Structure 1
Amino acid sequence: MKLFPSLILSFGIAAPVGALEAIGEIRASLNDEELNWQVLREDDGSAMVQITDIGPLTMIDLHALGDGGVSIGVIFHDKPSGDTLPAGLTIDMRPDRGTMAGAVRESEEEPPRMQIDLLELEGEGRIRTDFSAVLCRRDTPDDCRNVEGRIDTSLGATS
Protein backbone atom coordinates (compact mmCIF):
# COMPACT_ATOMS: atom_id res chain seq x y z
CA MET A 1 0.00 0.00 0.00
CA LYS A 2 2.90 2.37 0.71
CA LEU A 3 4.23 1.80 -2.85
CA PHE A 4 1.17 3.33 -4.53
CA PRO A 5 1.61 6.89 -3.14
CA SER A 6 5.27 6.80 -4.17
CA LEU A 7 4.32 5.87 -7.73
CA ILE A 8 1.73 8.64 -7.89
CA LEU A 9 4.19 11.20 -6.54
CA SER A 10 6.88 10.03 -8.96
CA PHE A 11 4.43 10.34 -11.82
CA GLY A 12 3.47 13.86 -10.77
CA ILE A 13 7.11 14.91 -10.62
CA ALA A 14 7.91 13.42 -14.03
CA ALA A 15 4.90 14.95 -15.82
CA PRO A 16 5.43 18.10 -17.90
CA VAL A 17 4.67 21.26 -15.95
CA GLY A 18 2.24 22.58 -18.58
CA ALA A 19 0.16 19.38 -18.42
CA LEU A 20 -0.80 19.81 -14.75
CA GLU A 21 -3.61 21.87 -13.23
CA ALA A 22 -4.09 22.53 -9.50
CA ILE A 23 -7.55 21.38 -8.36
CA GLY A 24 -7.04 22.00 -4.66
CA GLU A 25 -4.60 22.38 -1.83
CA ILE A 26 -3.50 20.94 1.48
CA ARG A 27 -1.97 23.26 4.07
CA ALA A 28 -0.43 22.17 7.35
CA SER A 29 1.59 23.40 10.29
CA LEU A 30 4.13 20.78 11.32
CA ASN A 31 5.64 21.97 14.61
CA ASP A 32 5.06 25.61 13.58
CA GLU A 33 6.52 25.14 10.07
CA GLU A 34 3.94 26.11 7.45
CA LEU A 35 3.76 23.63 4.55
CA ASN A 36 1.65 23.78 1.38
CA TRP A 37 0.87 21.24 -1.32
CA GLN A 38 -1.20 21.26 -4.51
CA VAL A 39 -3.53 18.44 -5.57
CA LEU A 40 -2.99 18.18 -9.32
CA ARG A 41 -4.87 16.95 -12.40
CA GLU A 42 -3.40 16.20 -15.81
CA ASP A 43 -4.82 17.39 -19.13
CA ASP A 44 -6.22 13.88 -19.70
CA GLY A 45 -8.40 14.27 -16.58
CA SER A 46 -6.48 11.92 -14.28
CA ALA A 47 -5.98 13.39 -10.83
CA MET A 48 -3.82 12.70 -7.81
CA VAL A 49 -7.00 11.49 -6.10
CA GLN A 50 -8.43 8.01 -6.12
CA ILE A 51 -11.88 7.01 -4.84
CA THR A 52 -12.45 3.27 -4.47
CA ASP A 53 -15.59 1.42 -3.36
CA ILE A 54 -14.97 -2.08 -2.04
CA GLY A 55 -18.08 -3.68 -0.62
CA PRO A 56 -19.28 -1.55 2.28
CA LEU A 57 -16.09 0.58 2.31
CA THR A 58 -15.27 3.78 0.43
CA MET A 59 -11.62 4.80 0.32
CA ILE A 60 -10.35 8.24 -0.70
CA ASP A 61 -6.61 8.59 -1.35
CA LEU A 62 -5.26 12.13 -1.83
CA HIS A 63 -1.72 12.87 -2.98
CA ALA A 64 -0.25 16.35 -3.36
CA LEU A 65 3.05 18.03 -4.23
CA GLY A 66 4.61 21.29 -3.10
CA ASP A 67 6.75 21.55 0.02
CA GLY A 68 7.69 17.92 -0.55
CA GLY A 69 4.83 15.45 -0.78
CA VAL A 70 1.82 14.44 1.28
CA SER A 71 -0.50 11.43 1.11
CA ILE A 72 -3.76 11.19 3.02
CA GLY A 73 -5.94 8.09 3.04
CA VAL A 74 -9.49 8.14 4.39
CA ILE A 75 -11.73 5.08 4.81
CA PHE A 76 -15.49 5.25 5.39
CA HIS A 77 -17.97 2.50 6.24
CA ASP A 78 -21.07 2.65 4.04
CA LYS A 79 -21.88 5.84 2.11
CA PRO A 80 -19.55 8.67 3.20
CA SER A 81 -20.85 12.13 3.96
CA GLY A 82 -19.79 15.24 5.83
CA ASP A 83 -21.65 13.93 8.89
CA THR A 84 -19.81 10.59 8.89
CA LEU A 85 -16.56 10.21 10.80
CA PRO A 86 -13.88 8.24 8.95
CA ALA A 87 -13.40 4.64 10.04
CA GLY A 88 -9.70 4.97 9.21
CA LEU A 89 -7.27 7.77 8.44
CA THR A 90 -3.56 7.77 7.55
CA ILE A 91 -1.27 10.72 6.88
CA ASP A 92 2.26 10.55 5.39
CA MET A 93 4.33 13.73 4.87
CA ARG A 94 7.69 14.17 3.20
CA PRO A 95 8.68 17.82 3.78
CA ASP A 96 11.53 19.05 1.56
CA ARG A 97 12.48 22.26 3.41
CA GLY A 98 13.14 23.57 6.89
CA THR A 99 14.14 21.48 9.88
CA MET A 100 11.80 18.68 8.80
CA ALA A 101 13.42 18.24 5.34
CA GLY A 102 14.10 14.71 4.19
CA ALA A 103 12.20 12.99 6.98
CA VAL A 104 9.27 10.74 6.05
CA ARG A 105 6.69 11.26 8.76
CA GLU A 106 3.66 9.04 9.16
CA SER A 107 0.70 8.53 11.45
CA GLU A 108 1.23 5.13 13.00
CA GLU A 109 0.85 5.12 16.77
CA GLU A 110 -1.97 7.55 17.54
CA PRO A 111 -4.92 7.75 15.12
CA PRO A 112 -5.23 11.11 13.28
CA ARG A 113 -8.38 13.16 13.70
CA MET A 114 -10.49 14.75 10.98
CA GLN A 115 -13.38 17.22 11.09
CA ILE A 116 -15.21 17.22 7.75
CA ASP A 117 -16.93 20.44 6.70
CA LEU A 118 -17.91 19.28 3.20
CA LEU A 119 -17.75 15.95 1.38
CA GLU A 120 -19.37 15.58 -2.04
CA LEU A 121 -18.76 12.51 -4.18
CA GLU A 122 -21.17 13.37 -7.01
CA GLY A 123 -19.95 15.13 -10.17
CA GLU A 124 -16.50 16.68 -9.74
CA GLY A 125 -16.62 15.94 -5.99
CA ARG A 126 -15.09 18.07 -3.25
CA ILE A 127 -13.71 17.68 0.27
CA ARG A 128 -13.10 20.42 2.85
CA THR A 129 -11.78 19.23 6.16
CA ASP A 130 -9.47 20.01 9.06
CA PHE A 131 -7.10 17.34 10.35
CA SER A 132 -4.64 16.86 13.17
CA ALA A 133 -2.22 14.07 14.00
CA VAL A 134 1.01 13.09 15.64
CA LEU A 135 3.47 12.14 12.88
CA CYS A 136 6.58 10.12 13.64
CA ARG A 137 9.69 9.71 11.51
CA ARG A 138 9.72 6.39 9.72
CA ASP A 139 13.47 5.95 10.37
CA THR A 140 13.35 7.27 13.96
CA PRO A 141 9.94 6.32 15.43
CA ASP A 142 10.61 8.15 18.71
CA ASP A 143 10.88 11.50 16.86
CA CYS A 144 7.25 12.61 16.68
CA ARG A 145 5.70 16.00 15.79
CA ASN A 146 2.22 17.49 15.93
CA VAL A 147 0.56 18.49 12.68
CA GLU A 148 -2.62 20.48 12.08
CA GLY A 149 -3.92 21.21 8.64
CA ARG A 150 -6.68 21.86 6.16
CA ILE A 151 -7.70 20.10 2.94
CA ASP A 152 -9.74 21.98 0.35
CA THR A 153 -9.81 20.19 -2.98
CA SER A 154 -11.89 18.92 -5.81
CA LEU A 155 -11.82 15.15 -5.94
CA GLY A 156 -11.35 15.27 -9.70
CA ALA A 157 -14.13 12.73 -10.21
CA THR A 158 -15.92 12.50 -13.53
CA SER A 159 -18.75 10.16 -12.56
Structure 2
Amino acid sequence: MSSMKPILALVLSLMAAPTFALDSIGTVTARLEGADLSWQVLTTEDGAAMVQVNDIGPLTMVDTHAMGDGDVYIGLVFQDEPSIDVAPVGITIDIRPEGAAGPVWKSAGASVAPTLSIERLNLDGAGRIEAGFEAMLCRGDTPATCETVIGRIETDLGLP
Protein backbone atom coordinates (compact mmCIF):
# COMPACT_ATOMS: atom_id res chain seq x y z
CA MET A 1 0.00 0.00 0.00
CA SER A 2 2.23 2.79 -1.22
CA SER A 3 -0.52 5.32 -0.51
CA MET A 4 0.10 4.69 3.19
CA LYS A 5 3.72 5.87 3.02
CA PRO A 6 3.02 9.64 2.94
CA ILE A 7 0.59 9.31 5.83
CA LEU A 8 2.97 7.12 7.80
CA ALA A 9 5.68 9.72 7.24
CA LEU A 10 3.27 12.45 8.42
CA VAL A 11 2.35 10.52 11.57
CA LEU A 12 5.99 9.70 12.34
CA SER A 13 7.03 13.32 11.79
CA LEU A 14 4.24 14.47 14.08
CA MET A 15 5.43 12.05 16.74
CA ALA A 16 9.01 13.28 16.34
CA ALA A 17 8.03 16.97 16.40
CA PRO A 18 5.43 17.44 19.15
CA THR A 19 5.61 21.24 18.77
CA PHE A 20 3.18 21.03 15.82
CA ALA A 21 -0.41 21.75 16.71
CA LEU A 22 -2.90 19.38 15.14
CA ASP A 23 -6.17 20.77 13.89
CA SER A 24 -9.17 18.83 12.69
CA ILE A 25 -10.32 19.75 9.18
CA GLY A 26 -13.05 17.14 9.07
CA THR A 27 -14.58 13.91 10.25
CA VAL A 28 -15.37 10.42 9.05
CA THR A 29 -18.06 8.43 10.85
CA ALA A 30 -19.33 4.87 10.41
CA ARG A 31 -21.17 2.09 12.22
CA LEU A 32 -19.30 -1.22 12.47
CA GLU A 33 -20.15 -4.25 14.63
CA GLY A 34 -22.91 -2.26 16.36
CA ALA A 35 -20.54 0.53 17.39
CA ASP A 36 -20.66 4.14 16.20
CA LEU A 37 -17.10 5.07 15.23
CA SER A 38 -15.67 8.53 14.60
CA TRP A 39 -12.34 9.73 13.24
CA GLN A 40 -10.74 13.15 12.76
CA VAL A 41 -8.97 14.24 9.57
CA LEU A 42 -5.99 16.21 10.89
CA THR A 43 -3.67 18.89 9.57
CA THR A 44 -0.57 20.55 11.02
CA GLU A 45 0.37 24.22 11.27
CA ASP A 46 2.66 23.83 8.25
CA GLY A 47 -0.25 22.62 6.11
CA ALA A 48 0.50 18.88 5.99
CA ALA A 49 -2.88 17.14 5.94
CA MET A 50 -4.14 13.57 6.26
CA VAL A 51 -6.04 14.05 3.00
CA GLN A 52 -4.39 14.33 -0.41
CA VAL A 53 -5.70 15.11 -3.88
CA ASN A 54 -3.47 13.92 -6.73
CA ASP A 55 -3.95 14.27 -10.47
CA ILE A 56 -2.29 11.47 -12.43
CA GLY A 57 -3.06 11.76 -16.12
CA PRO A 58 -6.80 11.42 -16.64
CA LEU A 59 -7.35 10.26 -13.04
CA THR A 60 -7.85 12.26 -9.85
CA MET A 61 -7.26 10.44 -6.58
CA VAL A 62 -8.58 11.63 -3.23
CA ASP A 63 -6.95 9.76 -0.33
CA THR A 64 -8.32 10.42 3.15
CA HIS A 65 -6.82 9.05 6.36
CA ALA A 66 -8.31 9.80 9.76
CA MET A 67 -7.59 8.86 13.36
CA GLY A 68 -9.84 8.42 16.39
CA ASP A 69 -11.60 5.11 17.06
CA GLY A 70 -8.62 3.33 15.54
CA ASP A 71 -8.02 4.61 12.02
CA VAL A 72 -9.76 4.74 8.66
CA TYR A 73 -8.68 5.13 5.04
CA ILE A 74 -10.97 6.10 2.16
CA GLY A 75 -9.50 6.18 -1.33
CA LEU A 76 -11.49 7.59 -4.24
CA VAL A 77 -10.46 7.49 -7.90
CA PHE A 78 -12.25 9.74 -10.39
CA GLN A 79 -11.98 9.60 -14.18
CA ASP A 80 -11.25 13.13 -15.42
CA GLU A 81 -12.48 16.05 -13.28
CA PRO A 82 -14.23 15.04 -10.01
CA SER A 83 -17.74 16.39 -9.49
CA ILE A 84 -20.90 15.54 -7.57
CA ASP A 85 -22.45 14.29 -10.80
CA VAL A 86 -19.74 11.71 -11.50
CA ALA A 87 -19.38 8.56 -9.40
CA PRO A 88 -15.82 7.50 -8.60
CA VAL A 89 -14.48 4.70 -10.79
CA GLY A 90 -12.76 3.25 -7.74
CA ILE A 91 -13.54 3.28 -4.01
CA THR A 92 -11.42 1.67 -1.30
CA ILE A 93 -12.42 1.72 2.36
CA ASP A 94 -10.29 0.25 5.17
CA ILE A 95 -11.26 0.53 8.84
CA ARG A 96 -9.05 -0.54 11.74
CA PRO A 97 -11.24 0.02 14.81
CA GLU A 98 -8.42 -1.10 17.12
CA GLY A 99 -5.66 0.76 15.27
CA ALA A 100 -2.65 -0.81 13.58
CA ALA A 101 -2.49 -3.71 16.03
CA GLY A 102 -6.04 -4.88 15.36
CA PRO A 103 -7.83 -6.43 12.41
CA VAL A 104 -8.52 -4.43 9.26
CA TRP A 105 -12.01 -4.38 7.78
CA LYS A 106 -11.64 -3.76 4.06
CA SER A 107 -13.75 -3.31 0.96
CA ALA A 108 -11.20 -4.97 -1.33
CA GLY A 109 -12.32 -8.52 -2.06
CA ALA A 110 -15.88 -8.04 -0.75
CA SER A 111 -18.72 -9.39 -2.87
CA VAL A 112 -20.35 -5.94 -3.19
CA ALA A 113 -18.49 -2.83 -4.37
CA PRO A 114 -18.70 0.28 -2.15
CA THR A 115 -20.93 3.17 -3.19
CA LEU A 116 -20.53 6.87 -2.54
CA SER A 117 -23.28 9.50 -2.55
CA ILE A 118 -21.57 12.88 -2.97
CA GLU A 119 -23.51 15.90 -1.72
CA ARG A 120 -20.67 18.40 -2.00
CA LEU A 121 -17.34 18.27 -3.80
CA ASN A 122 -15.36 21.45 -4.19
CA LEU A 123 -11.78 21.61 -5.44
CA ASP A 124 -11.59 25.41 -5.18
CA GLY A 125 -9.77 27.06 -2.28
CA ALA A 126 -9.03 24.53 0.46
CA GLY A 127 -11.53 22.14 -1.15
CA ARG A 128 -14.24 20.12 0.58
CA ILE A 129 -16.04 16.81 0.27
CA GLU A 130 -19.29 15.81 1.96
CA ALA A 131 -20.59 12.36 1.12
CA GLY A 132 -22.28 9.29 2.44
CA PHE A 133 -20.89 5.83 1.76
CA GLU A 134 -22.05 2.25 2.00
CA ALA A 135 -19.65 -0.64 1.80
CA MET A 136 -19.42 -4.34 2.44
CA LEU A 137 -16.28 -4.69 4.57
CA CYS A 138 -14.63 -8.02 5.36
CA ARG A 139 -12.10 -8.74 8.08
CA GLY A 140 -8.60 -9.22 6.74
CA ASP A 141 -7.86 -12.05 9.21
CA THR A 142 -11.20 -13.85 8.64
CA PRO A 143 -12.40 -12.89 5.12
CA ALA A 144 -15.68 -14.79 5.53
CA THR A 145 -16.67 -12.30 8.27
CA CYS A 146 -18.28 -9.38 6.44
CA GLU A 147 -20.59 -6.56 7.41
CA THR A 148 -22.34 -3.73 5.57
CA VAL A 149 -21.07 -0.40 6.87
CA ILE A 150 -22.81 2.93 6.36
CA GLY A 151 -20.87 6.11 7.05
CA ARG A 152 -20.11 9.72 6.19
CA ILE A 153 -17.10 11.76 5.21
CA GLU A 154 -17.17 15.52 5.76
CA THR A 155 -13.79 17.16 5.41
CA ASP A 156 -11.84 19.97 3.89
CA LEU A 157 -9.33 18.65 1.38
CA GLY A 158 -6.38 20.65 2.69
CA LEU A 159 -5.57 22.06 -0.76
CA PRO A 160 -2.97 24.83 -0.79
Determine the structure 1 residue equivalent to 2:104.
104
Aligned residues with identical type, % of pairs: 49
SS in structure 1 of the partner of residue 93 of structure 2? strand
Asked if 1 retains the 8 angstrom alpha-carbon contact of 2:24 and 2:43, the reply is yes
Supply the distance in 2 between the matched residues of 1:11 and 1:45 (Cα, whole angstroms). Answer: 11
Q: 57, 60, 69: which is aligned to 1:58?
A: 60
Deviates more, 1:129-138 or 1:103-112: 103-112
Which residue in 2 is equivalent to 1:24? 26
CA distance in 2, matches of 1:17, 1:40: 15
Which moved further from structure 2: 127-136 or 28-37? 28-37
TM value normalised by structure 1: 0.89
Contact 2:30 2:151 in 1 (8 A): yes
Cα distance, 1:13 vs structure 2: 6.4
Cross-structure match for 2:4 = 5
**Cα separation, 2, equivalents of 1:152 and 1:26:** 6
Shift of 1:95: 0.2
Alignment correspondent of 2:137: 135
Per the TM alignment, residue 7 of structure 1 is displaced from its structure 2 partner at its CA by: 5.4
User: Superposition RMSD on alpha carbons, in Å?
Assistant: 1.8
Instruction: Give the Cα separation in 2 of the matches to 1:11 and 1:147.
Output: 28
Matched with 2:41 is 39
Query: 1:42-80, CA deviations, whole angstroms, 9 ceiling, x for partnerless residues?
Result: 110010011111111100000000000000000011111
Measured at CA, do residues 6 and 92 of structure 1 come closer, stay the same or move farther in structure 2, by a change above 3 Å? farther
- The code of the aligned residue for 2:102 comes to G
Q: Structure 1, residues 6-41: CA drift from partner, whole Å, max 9, x if none?
A: 651563366238521100000101132100000000
Q: Which amino acid aligns with 1:53?
A: D
The 1-side partners of 2:9 and 2:30 are apart by: 22
CA offset at residue 139 of structure 1?
1.5
**In structure 1, distance between residues paired with 2:30 and 2:12:** 21
In the alignment, does 2:89 pair up with 1:87? yes
Where in structure 2 are there 5+ consecutive unaligned residues? none
Query: TM-score normalised to the size of structure 2?
Result: 0.89
**Is the contact made by 1:9 and 1:65 (CA closer than 8 Å) also made in structure 2?**
no
Residues in 1 aligned to 2:77 and 2:51: alpha-carbon distance in whole angstroms: 14
* Cα pair distance change 1:53/1:75, threshold 3 Å: same
Q: Is the 8 A contact 1:21 1:41 kept in 2?
A: yes
